[in-house]
Amino acid sequence: MKIGLLGLGTIGSGIYEHLAKRDDIEVVRILELLRHPGLEHLETSDYNEILNDPDIDTVIELIGGMEPAHTFTVQALKAGKNVVSANKLMLSHHMEEILTLAREMGVHYRYDASVGGSIPFLYNLMRYRGADRLLSLSGIVNGTTNLILDVMQREGRDFDDVLAEAQKLGYAEANPAADIDGIDAECKLAIASAVAFGQYVRPDDIATEGIRHIQAADIIYFKEMDRVCRLIVRSAPNADGSLSAVVEPTLVTADSTEAAVHMNMNTISVVGEYCGLHTFQGQGAGKDPTAFAVELGLRDILDGVSPRLNPIPEGYARVDNRQGRRAYYLRTTAHPGVPAEKLGETEHGAAYRLEPMSAAEMHALAAGLREKDPRLFFAGISE
């Protein structure tokens, strides 16, 4: 197998190092703007050198972001090359085009590394589709925010300090706003939901709230409730054929699976009609874990796993988050304007427990209150 590697950042250098120890997969060209000592003979700034090289059968796309990753991917697939990628932003916005094109060309588009880091989750989920009907998907899919929430609660450290650590460890996105505003988790939920439920999900249809404004003062109230805050993604088909899809900080019980997920770890649980509850766990971000997931895709291609394992979803889900109700924690300087129990005062506003409402109602309420208090924080309170 001969590889054209796009990008030599954290994950790119990881996969290069892993493959350098193997003799069945060879990186023969690297698209990179910078030059790295000892690799100059492989490095190029011209993508055509990869695209037009008939010896290169597989492209690993690790440049991330929307463009030129999208264009390069489409060009590689059209040239009959397999593509292996960790690019959740690009894939979640172009999933129909990319999967359809790969199927038409009879090549692989492997995206194991795009959700759940090292966890061999997505490609196992694909195998469930013929054998079971999935009823729900939920979990933690962003390592950076998990590290921040975990360390803030357990060690009392500051948000910015832990975020800087996540950046140093290579967990955070190039622009960490994508992590702390829940966008990275939103993209991953769109991809995983499409695989689980067989319909594409537009990331913008997902109700998304991040953790940017969490304060140490909030955590005092979580501890009083014997709860732990996690950034949870969840999706499930509704009885009327629509899909609920939500990313929001959630106060989980101290004895829950999610509360025991520490540092950069991820966890994803699916419930199937026949298989019951399955929970996957492992490192969700970082150089070696993510490079491992990229290599899993390469090895499957090498071992002749059919590209048809990758299911093509049918149509787009109608996302509706008005069903299901839960209580919410809210801390704001504004008046909540809905039935609420006041828990106390902080220097960033009063803390409340709101009566149960749907995710659609809560996200709309927060959007309205933000006009008066842009730094409010809320979290769902799980059952």
Q: What does the buried/exposed string (b/e) look like for 162-174 if buried means 16 or more CB atoms within 10 Å of the residue's CB?
A: bbebbeebbbbbe
- Work out how close the CB of 286 gets to ligand HSE at its nearest, in angstroms, rounded to a whole number: 8
The residue (of 15 and 330) whose beta carbon lies closer to ligand HSE is: 15
Among 173, 181, 186, 209, interactor with ligand HSE by CB under 6 A: 173
* Region from 49-57, 141-149, 319-327, 331-339 binding ligand HSE, contact rule CB under 6 A: 141-149
The verdict on 143 binding ligand HSE (CB under 6 A) reads yes
> 38 CB contacts (<8 Å, ≥6 apart)?
none
* Residues within window 176-215 making contact with ligand HSE, judged by CB under 6 A: 179, 184
Phi, psi of 84 (to 5 degrees): -120, 130
The residue (of 4 and 117) whose beta carbon lies closer to ligand HSE is: 117
The residue (of 143 and 297) whose beta carbon lies closer to ligand HSE is: 143
* Region from 43-51, 98-106, 168-176, 275-283 binding ligand HSE, contact rule CB under 6 A: 168-176
Tell me the Cα Rg of the chain: 21
Phi, psi of 273 (to 5 degrees): -60, -40
The residue (of 258 and 329) whose beta carbon lies closer to ligand HSE is: 258
- Work out how close the CB of 182 gets to ligand HSE at its nearest, in angstroms, rounded to a whole number: 11
* Region from 59-67, 104-112, 172-180, 252-260 binding ligand HSE, contact rule CB under 6 A: 172-180
SS (H, E, C) 240-272: CCCEEEEEEEEEEECCCCHHHCCCCEEEEEEEE
Please report which helix (H) or strand (E) contains residue 355, including its range. strand 349-357
Task: Tell me how far apart the alpha carbons of residues 90 and 67 are, in angstroms, rounded to a whole number.
Answer: 8
Phi, psi of 65 (to 5 degrees): 70, 180
CA-wise closest residue to 141 among 92, 96, 200: 92
Residues in the chain: 383
Note every long-range contact of 302-308, with CB atoms under 8 Å and residues 24 or more positions apart, other chains counting.
Answer: 302/1, 302/24, 302/25, 307/102, 307/103, 307/106, 307/107, 307/108, 307/109, 308/103
* Region from 98-106, 165-173, 236-244, 254-262 binding ligand HSE, contact rule CB under 6 A: 165-173
Report the DSSP beta bridge partners of residue 342: 352
Among 134, 243, 285, 357, interactor with ligand HSE by CB under 6 A: 285
Task: Tell me how far apart the alpha carbons of residues 61 and 233 are, in angstroms, rounded to a whole number.
Answer: 26
* Residues within window 244-283 making contact with ligand HSE, judged by CB under 6 A: none
Per-residue binding string, ligand HSE, 100-139, x by CB under 6 A, is: -----------------x----------------------
The verdict on 172 binding ligand HSE (CB under 6 A) reads yes
Is residue 188 annotated as part of the catalytic site, yes or no? yes
Report the DSSP beta bridge partners of residue 110: 84
The residue (of 177 and 343) whose beta carbon lies closer to ligand HSE is: 177
* Region from 36-44, 171-179, 293-301, 367-375 binding ligand HSE, contact rule CB under 6 A: 171-179
For 169, which DSSP code? T
Given a contact cutoff of 8 angstroms between Cβ atoms, the answer to whether 236 and 225 are in contact is: no
**The one catalytic residue among 2, 21, 88, 188:** 188
The residue (of 102 and 294) whose beta carbon lies closer to ligand HSE is: 294
Given a contact cutoff of 8 angstroms between Cβ atoms, the answer to whether 268 and 141 are in contact is: yes
- Work out how close the CB of 166 gets to ligand HSE at its nearest, in angstroms, rounded to a whole number: 7
- Tell me the site size for ligand HSE, rule CB under 6 A: 11
Among 142, 193, 244, 321, interactor with ligand HSE by CB under 6 A: 142
The verdict on 300 binding ligand HSE (CB under 6 A) reads no
- Tell me which residue has tokens 């959740």: 88
Among 12, 210, 284, 380, interactor with ligand HSE by CB under 6 A: 284
The residue (of 172 and 376) whose beta carbon lies closer to ligand HSE is: 172
Q: List interacting residues with ligand HSE (CB under 6 A).
A: 117, 142-144, 171-173, 179, 184, 284-285
